[in-house]
Chains A and B, each alone.
Chain A
Amino acid sequence: MKDAPMTRYYFDLRNEEVAIDDEGVELANAEAAQTEAARSLTDLARDAVRTAKDLKNLNVAVEVRDDAGPVMRAELALQIKPARS
């Protein structure tokens, strides 16, 4: 079986700051990129919750690009809704 061509995907991370990925990772297809984006996002969110100055406005996102441009954006926003006033 011949190896399927790999695509280089770049994962820019956005929370309080932006971390642009200039190295990227080679993955088989957009589905693999989606999985990597979702997993990275939960990693990022875990760290963000521990270090955030303001938990109420916590929003983390991963933007995936390939050499042709944006591919997808994955986002997690934390909502805290007080149940009593």
Chain B
Amino acid sequence: MSRPLLDSLLTKLKAASDLDSDDLRAIASLPIRTRHLDPHEFIVKEGDRTHECCLIADGFAFRSKATWQGQTQILSLHVPGEIPDLHSLHLELMDHDLKALSRCTLGFIPHAAIKSLNANRPRVAAALWRETLVDASIFREWMFNIGSRVGVTRMAHLLAELNRRLEVIGMAKNGVFDLPITQVELGECLGLTGVHVNRVLKQLRAEGLVRTSRSVFELLDIDLMEERGEFDPDYLHLPAFALS
């Protein structure tokens, strides 16, 4: 059962990095433990010490922190094929929460197995290092987005980004993707209140850029949405096939 779980990771690494068939076989034979989580269940909590990394095989996850007064900030959103706590390989103490956003299928891989894979296969180590660097790059862009852009641009940027990230893994087609996220959670991603999220989504709808129904987002003109969000995909460091 472990092969389909690791498929999302293999597809992602193969597209982005230079790996040979032995590397891919070694990744495919990593020990992996499956868990199914409901929305908002903790994957790992701030303060936990972990000995496994978690691969998202299906569903969405997010990292967050809360102020002492209880105000939550979502720090990042994660899609299938990503290992949102890859950093825990070297930083075992969790300094933030990692939770399921939707129903998730996760694969837990022991740190020891990844460490030994990295030691024996430098190309795999480089590929995983690259993943954490892209993760950091997305953090920089989110910091920039929240700190410097107005609400409507912020939202357009986030939707443009998610469309690109989901498109690479085949989960967005022609600007249509499914993302089970509430307005409050969108607000927590963007540093906006639920009411303000409502307003900026309405504005983007009125401009003819997006249609939403339940959890489906439909970008009606991808180029215009990207322009509205001042979105430049460079920071995602997407594989060449995804840049058209």
| A interface with B by C-beta (< 8 Å) | 11, 13, 19, 21, 23, 25, 36-37, 39-40, 43-44, 46-47, 50-51, 62
Contact = CB atoms under 8 A, between A and B. Distances in A.
A43 B193 contact: yes
Nearest to A43: B196
Contacts of A44: 196, 199
A47 B198 CA distance: 15
Given A13-B199, A19-B202, A19-B203, A36 B150 contact: no
A54 B198 CA distance: 25
A43 B151 CA distance: 8
B194 interface: yes
A36 B198 CA distance: 13
A40 B199 CA distance: 10
A23 B182 CA distance: 13
Chain B: interface secondary structure? helix
B150 A23 contact: no
A32 B196 CA distance: 16
Contacts of B194: 25, 36
A5 B151 CA distance: 31
B193 A50 contact: no
A36 B196 CA distance: 10
B157 to A, nearest CB: 14
A23 B193 contact: no
Contacts of A43: 151, 192-193, 195-196
Greatest chain A CB density within 10 A among B152, B183, B192, B199 is at B199
A43 B155 CA distance: 13
A22 B194 CA distance: 14
B195 A47 contact: no
Given A11-B198, A43-B193, A47-B152, 6 more contacts: A19-B202, A25-B183, A36-B194, A37-B195, A43-B151, A46-B150
A62 B202 CA distance: 16
Nearest to A25: B194
A21 B150 contact: no
Nearest to B187: A43
A33 B15 CA distance: 48
